[in-house]
A and B are shown apart, each in its own frame.
Chain A
Amino acid sequence: MPSVIVENLRREIEGLKSEIKAEKIGRVLEVRDGIAKISGLSEVASQEMLEVEAGGQTISGIAFNIEEDAVGAIILGDYLKIREGDIVRGTGKVLSIRVGRELIGRVVNPLGIPIDGRGPVFNSDAEGEYYPVERLAPSVIERESVNTPLHTGIKAIDSMIPIGRGQRELIIGDRQLGKTSLVVDTIINQGKDSRYKTPICIYTAIGQKESKVAQIVQKLKDSGAMEYTIVVSAPASSPASLWYLAPYSATAIGEYFMRNGEDALVIYDDLSKQAWGYRELSLLLRRPPSREAYPGDIFYLHSRLLERSAKLSKENGGGSLTALPIIETQLGDVSAYIPTNVISITDGQIYLEPELFYQGVRPAVNVGLSVSRVGSSAQTKAMKKVAGRLRLELAQFRELASFAQFASDLDESTKKRITRGRVLSEILKQPELAPVPFENQVISIYAGTNGYFDQVAPEEVSLKMSALLGYVEKLYDEAILKKIRETGELEEEVENSLKKALEEFKNL
């Protein structure tokens, strides 16, 4: 062991002032299933951090229930090591997590402890700041309207359900419909979107299988996304207290970047599990259960979390924190308790439907029911131009969808609408792990809505579209793609070049 370390330690031990003071303590009366009942601690405050002296170690907890004779606390760690009679100290602080740029590329648990086996996150005491896990949301005056797009790279979303930086957009659907794939593609696209500054992405895995989290981290590594992503994981084997805290810790990390003038994106996968974790803790602490056995403050659990995502005004640094919470429904029931709660909190939702999924429409986004309450103020001018017609034509197609089976018996205009609708639906399909940059999206949608693909059979649309994009990339990169990327607009000159390119491609 290097002598420097021994020397420093010796100095520290010598210099330690003999401060022996009296402190108020409590003793553990009962401990079970991740919670503890503590007697004493007469001056503890609600949500105060506690330290339990269990054998040789110190295990943290949070004071949740302040009762007349006892304190009910949740244990943030292995409760099996705690014994009846163990001494508990109050710390006078609330739970905080150490945040800083050093977290980027790491996988941590909700207490900030790294779980990716790469050693400590912070190497000296000077690095990092402590941000409280629970914090008041920014006030009305500190905010500004959402005005910058957050491109997900998914055509259906960026065109018709656009998300802006600072917005909360809920992703809701049954299991196995591609909710996680959607958010992973969004994270990957942030590295590819060259028009806007890359936001720091924080992926929160709540109650998921560790194998699944490992797969996601690998996918992000393979596409280079871990260079701007942090993963906060409370896996299925961790205690319910960590499931409950994970979204709050992730938000505290996001707030660090937001308050420093940067953009951040936080994804909660998924909030349904956080609600279960909180229900488990509340029931164990004997709090009165209400509907579906959830505690009475289950709405507040999610509302105070999601309100912390905002776009700050220029005076406050101009940073933003965008939230993409995920809720898993059972059998498509979006009118259940938790889904309706979260729908009323967020600024819009993206519905994923099983019927669409099995028909082959992937991403299985139901464009009719999905909404983004921020809308076109979060879209580039180019996209706004092409997306308006897209939405209209798809809506008309949906109305006529039931007649599509009798295609031969219909009049010309109806047939045309159905063909156009089919082509547009095909254009909107895209595979996993392949987010599309927004300039390519503009070209695809322009081609579709202006009839250049009306003669193409639905099965061939996807192949022809990649060929078109390849063609434009090779011959018109400067004239079209670069111009759209830099200005964000579809100027007349660029539009003319695009028309020319499309004609040429058609005649090939």
Chain B
Amino acid sequence: MKYQETVYAKALLQALRGKSESEKKEVAKNFLNVLKKNSDLNRLNSILDKVEIQYLKDEKIRKLSVESASPLSKDSREEIKSSLGGKVLLEERVRPELLAGARIILDGEILIDATAFGRLAKIFH
């Protein structure tokens, strides 16, 4: 492991700044070659996770993952997006096993659980 994932992420994002589409493709190819040279190609997935986190941070975009028992209605979606203010990246996932309600994970770090599954788990823990 030559460099930490966050270091790679920052370097890649800085390299991509202000480049045209074709130049970005070049940068991406070079990045993969650098990883190969440093024998860090097997960590590509975790590095890309960090790239996403860093990019969202740089652009001040909040990431919301919503897991709900049934698909979100258009109104709910708008309500969630506007509740935070600013730019929001919304990821949705339908999981029927949550029985009812929804839960939201903010920036991969904060969980707000308003599902029936969560409430029942609290009773029967």
Contact = CB atoms under 8 A, between A and B. Distances in A.
Interface of A: 12-13, 16, 20-27, 29, 39-40, 42, 58, 68-69, 87, 89
Contacts of A27: 108
Nearest to A51: B125
B39 interface: no
Nearest to B108: A40
B14 interface: no
A58 B125 CA distance: 8
A58 B6 CA distance: 31
Interface stretch (B15-23, B26-34, B111-119): B111-119
Interface string B88-125: 00000000000000000110111111100001011101
Q: Which of B49, B109, B122 has the most CB of A within 10 A?
A: B109
B123 A13 contact: yes
Given A12-B123, A58-B121, A69-B5, A20 B108 contact: no
Contact residue range for chain B? 20 to 34
B114 A20 contact: yes
B5 A16 contact: no
A20 B108 CA distance: 18
Interface of B: 4-6, 46, 49-50, 105-106, 108-114, 119, 121-123, 125
Nearest to B120: A13
A25 B125 contact: no
B4 A42 contact: no
Contacts of A13: 123
Contact of B6 (A29, A69, A89): A69
A179 to B, nearest CB: 41
Contacts of B121: 58
A304 to B, nearest CB: 30
A13 B123 CA distance: 7
16 contacts: A16-B123, A22-B110, A22-B111, A23-B113, A24-B110, A25-B110, A25-B111, A26-B109, A39-B108, A40-B109, A58-B121, A68-B4, A69-B4, A69-B5, A69-B6, A87-B111
A23 B106 CA distance: 10
Nearest to B53: A39
Given A20-B112, A69-B4, A69-B6, A25 B105 contact: yes
Given A12-B123, A16-B122, A69-B6, A42 B114 contact: no
Contacts of A23: 110-113
Contacts of A29: 46
4 closest A-B pairs by beta carbon, nearest first, are A25-B111, A20-B114, A22-B112, A40-B109
Contacts, number: 42
Contacts of B6: 69
A25 B5 CA distance: 21
Given A20-B112, A20-B114, A22-B106, 10 more contacts: A16-B122, A20-B113, A23-B111, A23-B113, A24-B111, A26-B109, A27-B108, A40-B109, A68-B4, A87-B111
Contacts of B46: 29
B11 to A, nearest CB: 16
A257 to B, nearest CB: 29
A42 B109 contact: yes
Contacts of A22: 106, 110-112
B114 A24 contact: no
Contacts of A20: 112-114
Contacts of B50: 69
B40 to A, nearest CB: 15
A315 to B, nearest CB: 40
Nearest to B121: A58
Given A69-B4, A69-B5, A24 B109 contact: yes
Nearest to B110: A22
A276 B121 CA distance: 36
A325 B43 CA distance: 45
B79 to A, nearest CB: 16
Contacts of A42: 109
A91 B90 CA distance: 28
B43 to A, nearest CB: 11
Contacts of B123: 12-13, 16
Contact of A16 (B105, B112, B119): B119
Nearest to A12: B123
Contacts of B108: 27, 39-40
